[in-house]
Structures are given as structure tokens and as C-alpha cells.
Amino acid sequence: ITDKINKLEKDEPFFSLEFFPPKTENGLRNLYARLGRMSLLGPSFVTVTWGAGGTTAEKTLDLAITCQKELGLTTCLHLTCTNTSKEVIDNALKTAKANGIKNILALRGDPQRDSSESHGVGVFKHAVDLVKYIRAEYGDFFCIGVAGYPEGHVEGAYDSTQCAEKDLPYLVEKVNAGADFIITQLFFDVSKFTKYESLVRSQPNLTNKNVLILPGLMPINGYSIFQRASKLSHASIPDSVLNKFPLEIQNDDDKVREIGIGITSNMIETMHSRGVKGFHFYTLNLEKTIAQIISTSPVLKTILEKYDDDEAAASSDDEDIDVATAKQAA
Ligand code: FAD
């Protein structure tokens, strides 16, 4: 990923897309059709999520291999390490390497939902342990990404200490251990990201002050998904955003989506004007909103112009079926 990004022109914008492996055959068929179209939007890379504790290991690997080998997309495999055996991690890394996947998003993960396990169980306690392990076992073969939290990691929310500063020493540890890039948790308040970016870069112990930091953006696909995602990720919603959704339009998905596209495009423009070149989208496997953002955003549409935009911007008829799945994924 970083080799690819470094080859771009100085101010050339780029974006990446996150997908999750669907549970059903039908969901997978829909996703493959969508992936084919979305690849024409011109993402620099795609990422594939990994279920907590390795629950989706096989499906994640299958999807990542299809993205890399069949669709020819630069692919990044998410890998969580806590509550997971070393064998599962070894198998994922070995399979990725054997299939030409050269990028790993190294994460700690969480205990599975409904489980009584606590955090940090197993050989790897924190994401930094996985970064170190990958570097020790594979040298420079993998480009490694890690997670960052502009509003602080959620664990701090339980004891009211949630803030970006609390996690920073651990983020520095992850980068100094060999991480090449950072993807942030989703947010809706650009000022929080801007502050975070400068905080990260000003950390005295950070070895790579220019580490790539990609803002994580979740397009607004519907009011309830938007509320749920911001609640779960503890992302604050500024009044300027919230006020755009008065009660009478909250159940009108088309209207909410249209307003949401404007909000995300504005966020991109503001960040771009502050020097941010790359943007990561949490797609929830949905296509329409992303395609519209990319084809209308003054910053990103320049990328699409290089591709066959008619085909890429086409919306899919099967999408509404997957909105329910997206709500769960959010
Ligand atoms: P860490 O960096 O280990 O940090 C976790 C917590 O521990 C933080 O509160 C931190 O302050 C603290 N900490 C870190 N190191 C230390 C230390 N040495 N000593 C004491 N405290 C420490 N989850 C999934 O299950 N699958 C996915 O595919 C997935 N993808 C994600 C993608 C992105 C871009 C992001 C932002 C998150 C993703 N997550 C995913 C969620 C992630 O697994 C959780 O947020 C998890 O709780 C923390 O992971 P981490 O890698 O940030 O952990």
C-alpha cells in the first residue's frame, strides 16, 4: 500500500474501501457483483475485515484472495490477535503471503460478542504484539497498518477517560514496532481528526513522523445505521451535522442518504484543503452511497474520471436487500 501511495503525484487524492465477508451465499454473490463495479471507482486498495477471535477466518481469507487474485485489487487483510490461537494467526499470514496479499491491518480485536472472555487473552495481548510478531516472522514482506482513534479508544469510555491522548503512547509503540500506516476509527467531526493528526505527528518518540494516517469515513446510508455506528464507535456528532436531519426526514432513507453524501463530501473537501490526500471508507458492503460520493466529490471525482465512470456509478438493484445486513455490521 505505502509503495503504491508513494508513487502518486504530490497532491493526488486516493481512497480505499473496507468490506466484510457476508454470511450467506446470496450475500456473497451480491458482493462479488458489487465489488466488480466498485473496483471501477478506482480504489487504491481494499480491506477485508476479520471476525473477532477468528470467527470469519475462512470467509475473510476467501474474500481477500478473490479481491487480490481475481479482481487484481491491492488487498489488505484485517487480522485480530487477541483471544486467538497462534496457529490461526500463522495460517492467515501464510495463506496471505502464498496468495500475493502483502498488506495486513494488525489489530487487537475484542472478545466475541456474548462471550464472557475478557480482553487481551492469549499469546497476543495488544495489537503491538502482532505487529512485532509479523515483523519478526516475515521481515519487510508485509506492509502493516494499525488502528487509530481520533476520539480515543472505547475502553476509556467505561472509566470516563476516553480521549485520543490516552492511546497515543500505544499508537507510537505500534508505529515504532514497524507499522507503516494508520487507519482511524470513524468520526463525523473533522476538527477531532485534524487535532489528532497533529497530536500523532508531534509525539516526541514517534520514529516516522510522516506515517500515513487515513481518516476512516462511514457514509450515511440511513438514519438508524448512522446513529448506531456513531454510538458503538463513540464518535461524536457535531450539531452542524445532527441538525441536518430533522425528525420529519429521519425515516426517509433517500433524503437521509442525499444529505449524508453532502456531509461526507464536505468532510473530504475540508480535510483535503488541510493536506489530507487519502480517505478510507467503511462501505458496510453497500455501493450506492459510495459511488455517489466518489462521482460527485470535487476531490475524488478526478480519480473516477480515469475510469469508466458510467459503469462504476451504476447503482445496484439488489442493494436494498443488504441494508439490513449493513445495520448489523455497523
Ligand atoms: P490496541 O492498539 O491493542 O489498543 C486497544 C486498547 O488497549 C486501547 O485502549 C489502548 O489504549 C490499550 N493498549 C494498547 N497497548 C497497550 C499496552 N501495551 N498496555 C496497556 N494498554 C494498551 N475489529 C475486528 O474484530 N475485526 C476487524 O476487522 C476490525 N477492523 C478494524 C479496523 C479499523 C480501522 C479500526 C479502527 C478498528 C477495527 N476493529 C476491528 C476494532 C478493533 O479490533 C477494536 O477497536 C479493538 O478494541 C482494539 O483494537 P486495536 O488494534 O486498536 O488495539
Q: DSSP alpha helices (H): ranges in 40-163? A: 57-65, 86-98, 127-138, 155-158
Rg of the chain over all Cα atoms, to the nearest angstrom: 19
Interatomic CA distance for residues 134 and 96, integer angstroms: 12
Q: Per-residue pLDDT averaged across 136-144, rounded?
A: 98
User: Residue 28 above 60 pLDDT?
Assistant: yes
- Measured by CA distance, the residue closest to atom 33 of ligand 1 is 147
Percentage of residues in the chain with pLDDT exceeding 70? 88
The least confident of 100-114, 292-306, 314-328 is: 314-328
What does the pLDDT look like over 49-88, one tens digit per residue? 999 889 999 999 999 999 999 999 999 999 999 989 999 9
User: Residue 45 above 80 pLDDT?
Assistant: yes
Percentage of residues in the chain with pLDDT exceeding 90? 80
The string of DSSP codes covering 25-41 is HHHHHHHHHHHHHHHTT
Which amino acid belongs to residue 238?
A: P
Interatomic CA distance for residues 315 and 299, integer angstroms: 21
What is residue 304's predicted lDDT score, i.e. its pLDDT? 81
Cell of 1: 500500500
Q: At what angle do helices 223-233 and 253-273 cross, to 10 degrees?
A: 50
What does the pLDDT look like over 241-297, one tens digit per residue? 999 999 999 999 999 999 999 999 999 999 999 999 999 999 999 999 999 999 999
Instruction: Give the pTM.
Output: 0.93
What residues flank ligand 1, with Cβ below 6 Å?
A: 49-50, 52, 78, 80, 105, 107-110, 126-128, 147, 153, 155, 166-167, 170, 174, 183, 185, 216
User: Residue 111 above 90 pLDDT?
Assistant: no
- Closest-CA residue to 183 (of 107, 126, 292, 250): 107
What is residue 112's predicted lDDT score, i.e. its pLDDT? 65
Interatomic CA distance for residues 27 and 61, integer angstroms: 16
The least confident of 82-96, 152-166, 312-326 is: 312-326
Ligand 1 mean position, distance from CA 80 (Å): 8
Interatomic CA distance for residues 184 and 149, integer angstroms: 6
| Other beta carbons less than 10 A from residue 246's beta carbon | 8
Ligand 1 mean position, distance from CA 280 (Å): 17
What does the pLDDT look like over 194-233, one tens digit per residue? 999 999 999 999 999 999 999 999 999 999 999 999 999 8
Which pLDDT band holds residue 115 (cuts at 50, 70, 90)? low
Q: 199: buried, middle or exposed (CB in 10 Å: 19+, 13-18, 0-12)?
A: middle
Residue 154 CA, closest ligand 1 atom number: 9
- Output the average pLDDT for the chain: 91
Check residue 119 and report its DSSP letter: S
Ligand 1 mean position, distance from CA 147 (Å): 6
Q: Per-residue pLDDT averaged across 299-326, rounded?
A: 63
What is residue 314's predicted lDDT score, i.e. its pLDDT? 46
- Measured by CA distance, the residue closest to atom 29 of ligand 1 is 49
Residue 148 CA, closest ligand 1 atom number: 36
Interatomic CA distance for residues 91 and 89, integer angstroms: 5
Q: At what angle do helices 253-273 and 190-201 cross, to 10 degrees?
A: 30
What is residue 113's predicted lDDT score, i.e. its pLDDT? 61
